Amino acid sequence: MSEKHKVAILGSGNWGSTVARIVGSNVRDRTEVFDPEVRIWVYEELIGGRKLTEIINSEHENVKYLPGKELPENVIAIPDPETAIEGANILVFVLPHQFVRSLCGKLAGKIRENAFAVSLIKGVDFDEKGVILISDVISRELGVECSVLMGANIANEIADEQFSEATIGYRNREHARLLKHIFQTPYFRIAGAPDVPGVEICGALKNIVALGAGFCDGLGYGNNTKAAVIRLGLIEMIRFAKKFFKDVQSMTFLQSSGVADLITTCYGGRNRRCAEAFARSGGKKSFEELENELLNGQKLQGTLTAKEIYEILQRQNLLQEFPFFEVIYAIAYQGRSVEGFLQQLSEKELSLEGDID
Ligand X SMILES: NC(=O)C1=CN([C@@H]2O[C@H](COP(=O)(O)OP(=O)(O)OC[C@H]3O[C@@H](n4cnc5c(N)ncnc54)[C@H](O)[C@@H]3O)[C@@H](O)[C@H]2O)C=CC1
Q: Which residues are catalytic?
A: 206
Between residues 89 and 305, which has the closer beta carbon with respect to ligand 13P? 305
Q: Which of 6, 7, 8, 11 binds ligand X (CB under 6 A)?
A: 11
DSSP string, 27-53: HHT-TTTB-S-EEEE----EETTEEHH
Give the Cα separation of 149 and 314 in Å (integer): 29
Between residues 111 and 199, which has the closer beta carbon with respect to ligand 13P? 199
Binding mask 93-122 for ligand X (x = CB under 6 A): -xxxx-x--------------------xxx
DSSP string, 295-353: HTT----HHHHHHHHHHHHHHTT-GGG-HHHHHHHHHHHS---STTHHHHHHHHHHHHH
Residue ranges in 150-169 that form contacts with ligand X under rule CB under 6 A: 153-155
Q: Flag whether 246 is marked binding.
A: no
Q: Is the dihedral of CA 221, 309, 91, 56 positive or negative?
A: negative
Q: Which of 57, 184, 298, 316 binds ligand X (CB under 6 A)?
A: 298
Q: Which of 6, 9, 10, 14 binds ligand X (CB under 6 A)?
A: 14
Is the separation of the CB atoms in 120 and 15 below 8 Å? yes
**φ/ψ of residue 312, rounded to 5:** -60, -50
Q: Flag whether 156 is marked binding.
A: no
Q: What does 210 interact with, of ligand 13P, ligand X, none (CB < 5 to 8 A by kind)? A: ligand 13P
Of the CA atoms within 13 Å of residue 29, those in its CB half-sphere come to 12
DSSP string, 95-142: S-GGGHHHHHHHHTT-PPTT-EEEE----EEEETTEEEEHHHHHHHHH
CB of 40 to ligand X, least distance (A): 10
Between residues 25 and 156, which has the closer beta carbon with respect to ligand 13P? 156
Give the Cα separation of 261 and 269 in Å (integer): 10
For ligand X, the nearest residue by Cβ is 13
Residue ranges in 195-234 that form contacts with ligand X under rule CB under 6 A: none
Q: Flag whether 106 is marked binding.
A: no
CB of 4 to ligand 13P, least distance (A): 31
Straight-line distance from the first to the last Cα atom of the chain, in angstroms, rounded to the nearest whole number: 65
CB of 164 to ligand 13P, least distance (A): 9
Q: Flag whether 163 is marked binding.
A: no
The contact set with ligand 13P (CB under 6 A) reads 122, 152-154, 207, 210, 261, 264-265, 269-271, 301
Q: Flag whether 99 is marked binding.
A: yes
**φ/ψ of residue 39, rounded to 5:** -90, 140
Between residues 30 and 110, which has the closer beta carbon with respect to ligand X? 110
Q: Flag whether 15 is marked binding.
A: yes
Give the Cα separation of 10 and 22 in Å (integer): 15
Q: Is the dihedral of CA 180, 181, 182, 184 positive or negative?
A: positive
Q: What does 233 interact with, of ligand X, ligand 13P, none (CB < 5 to 8 A by kind)? A: none
* Interface ranges with ligand X (CB under 6 A): 11-16, 43, 65, 94-97, 99, 120-123, 153-155, 297-299, 301
Binding residues for substrate: 122, 270-271
- Which segments are annotated as binding site for NAD(+)? 11-16, 99, 155, 270, 299, 301
